[in-house]
Amino acid sequence: MRLHLLALLAKEPAHGYELKQALEQTFGSAYPSPNIGQIYVTLGRLEKDGLVRSVGVEQSNRPNKKVYYLTAKGRDVLHLWVDEPTEGPRVRDEFFMKLVLAPMTGIADRMVLINRQRRHYLSLMKDLNELLDRTPPEDKIATLLIEGAMLHLQADLDWLERCQEDLS
């Protein structure tokens, strides 16, 4: 979350709660709502590392609130993050290890493992269908996030089919 907060602060200084709201507004219903405690902990660490600084702003009949802003060092780190290529999602090797190793032990049959995994993926896809249904199409960021997850699941299922053809 460190770099996500830096990116939001590059736009404008903000206090913790505003950052939480900005994340929610940007990513919409598709993204898990960020925990405010985690945001404050992360901001504290960023400040300790010199990537952000804070000033106290007086509020009438409330304790001061801390407004965070990006330092030059913070901006450099953000630039590095944006400019470097991003690792693709990893292959789900956990299931593959089960598939290869479990039959050797006599614990499980490959066909059973593959069938169970297929049902699991399709149930996840059902959840994503449901999620897409209740996401308004004008919420483009959330829609793209869901569609991305669907394409990954489709690839997992296609690969499962390949495993079934060649290993059973």
Partner 1 sequence: MSDEPVLKAVNLVKIYSDGAVPVPAVRGVDLQVEAGEFVAVMGPSGSGKSTLVHMLGGLDKRTSGEIWLDGQRADTLSESAWALLRRKKIGFVFQFFNLVANMTVADNVELPALLAGASTKEARERRESLLDALNLTGRADAAPAQLSGGEQQRVALARALANQPSVLLADEPTGNLDSRNTRDVLRLLGQVHKDGQTIVMVTHDARVAALADRVVSLLDGEIVDDGRLSRPRRRTVGEVIDLR
Residues within the interface to partner 1 (CB under 8 A) = 29-33, 89, 111, 115, 118-119, 121-131, 134, 142, 145-150, 152-154, 157-158, 161-162, 164-165, 168
Minimum distance from residue 131 beta carbon to partner 1 (Å): 6
Euclidean distance between CA atoms 99 and 96, whole angstroms? 5
Q: Can you tell me which residue has the tokens 């944006």? A: 82
Euclidean distance between CA atoms 42 and 39, whole angstroms? 5
Nearer to partner 1, 35 or 64 (CB): 35
H/E run at residue 7: helix 2-11
Minimum distance from residue 10 beta carbon to partner 1 (Å): 21
Residue 65 pairs in a beta bridge with: 57
Nearer to partner 1, 59 or 86 (CB): 86
Nearer to partner 1, 91 or 111 (CB): 111
Minimum distance from residue 99 beta carbon to partner 1 (Å): 15
Q: How far is CA 44 from the centre of its chain?
A: 21
Nearer to partner 1, 29 or 71 (CB): 29
DSSP H helices in 12-109: 16-27, 36-48, 72-83, 93-105
